[in-house]
Amino acid sequence: MAKISVMGTGSWGTALAILLHNNGHQVMLWSAHPEKAASLNQTREDPKKLPGITIPDGIVITGDEKTALDSPDIVVFASPSAYMRAISKRLSPLIRRGQIIVNVAKGVEENTLMPVCDIIKEEIPQADVCVLSGPSHAEEVSRGLPTTCVVSARKKETAEYLQGLFMSPVFRVYTTPDMLGVELGGALKNVIALAAGTADGLGYGDNTKAALITRGIAEMARLGVKMGAKLETFAGLSGIGDLIVTCASVHSRNRRAGYLMGQGYTMKQAMDEVQMVVEGVYSAKAAKALAEKYDVEMPIITEINKVLFEGKSAAEAVIDLMVRDKKVETPMLPWEDGQKTN
């Protein structure tokens, strides 16, 4: 049994706290807002974020970070990526040297272009920062529905230790050494999901969604490899796996926000309607900036930025994607007649 503190009472943090409790660990759940902790302690339920899910009595809920960070074996950081720097800075003085921190947020910071783990490392340099990601909606994990994820760390031993803590008959965990690829897959897929949701809102069909998912993973992989990540990671759980579930699921807040924009909502109206943090909106500008920095063509990312921040209509963006210059899908493959792809 491990002593685990989950920092963040959003839907994902709460779902992971329940999973880890059911795995037999001693779990504490911390909220940055003491009033939220008090409310959860009283009701043992968050009807807005996880309706119908009861937080087991064995999970201690607190609004006191000193209590939460009193010698845990591991700490799970589950705050939204947009708030991760502020949370990390706040908690850093309480984190001991060598503390294992598992980041489960997905995003890239707009002004620094840092993935979340790099943000945490910068603010808490004494910690051993790892990442857990994959196709894993909190609504399903909290209900014990079968789910698979991947964990990555600097050391194989650490990754295997975390694999053992999280793994259960309903939550299968794989390991990989490619932390950057895992993080980029989790962040970039949220932006592509906005585009997929927008297509749904416009009334387009499965063909359109399949095209966005397929070309979306191509964009994600091109950028990731240019940044030093491994191509194989984008064919795995944190890449194509997470992209599929986020683009297709009714649980996806990014898809839902995109759907509303396809229906004519503004970005702000869509985010207000979803009532939860839409990570793709925060990562969209960063994704475009990364594409420009590394000179990688990412037309879907470019168009979703124009819809989000430049007032371009979603329908017009789809048309512009369709009428782009002709391309070869697999430029790395030779033709039988020996000619090379331009």
**3-state SS track over 251-280:** CCHHHHHHHHHHCCCCHHHHHHHHCCCCHH
Whether 306 sits among the annotated catalytic residues: the reply is no
Where does residue 249 rank: exposed (0-12), middle (13-18), buried (19+ CB within 10 A)?
A: middle
Cβ neighbours around 311 below 10 Å, total: 9
**pLDDT: is 118 or 248 the higher one?**
118
Please report which confidence band the pLDDT of residue 342 belongs to, taking 50, 70 and 90 as the band edges. low
The DSSP bridge partners found for residue 152 are: 131, 176
Per DSSP (E only), the strands in the chain are 3-7, 26-30, 60-62, 74-77, 100-103, 128-133, 147-152, 171-176
Per DSSP (E only), the strands in 57-125 are 60-62, 74-77, 100-103
Instruction: Identify the active-site residue in 189, 209, 285, 288.
Output: 189
Closest CA to 78 of 272, 279, 253: 279
Strands 171-176 and 147-152: parallel
The total number of residues shown for the chain amounts to 342
Handedness of CA 84, 149, 302, 272 (dihedral sign): negative
Q: What is the pTM of this model?
A: 0.93
Please give the structure tokens belonging to residue 139.
């609504």
The DSSP bridge partners found for residue 172 are: 148
- Strand ordering across the sheet containing 3-7: 60-62, 26-30, 3-7, 74-77, 100-103, 128-133, 147-152, 171-176
- 108-136 pLDDT, tens digit per residue, is 999 999 999 999 999 999 999 999 999 99
- 259-291 pLDDT, tens digit per residue, is 998 998 888 888 888 877 788 888 899 999 999
Q: Which domains does the chain have, with CATH numbers?
A: 3-177 (3.40.50.720), 180-322 (1.10.1040.10)
pLDDT at 339: 81
Q: What is the mean pLDDT of residues 42-70?
A: 96
Got the DSSP string for 118-178?
HHHHHH-TTSEEEEEESS--HHHHTTT--EEEEEE-SSHHHHHHHHHHH-BTTEEEEEES-
- 207-234 pLDDT, tens digit per residue, is 999 999 999 999 999 999 999 999 999 9
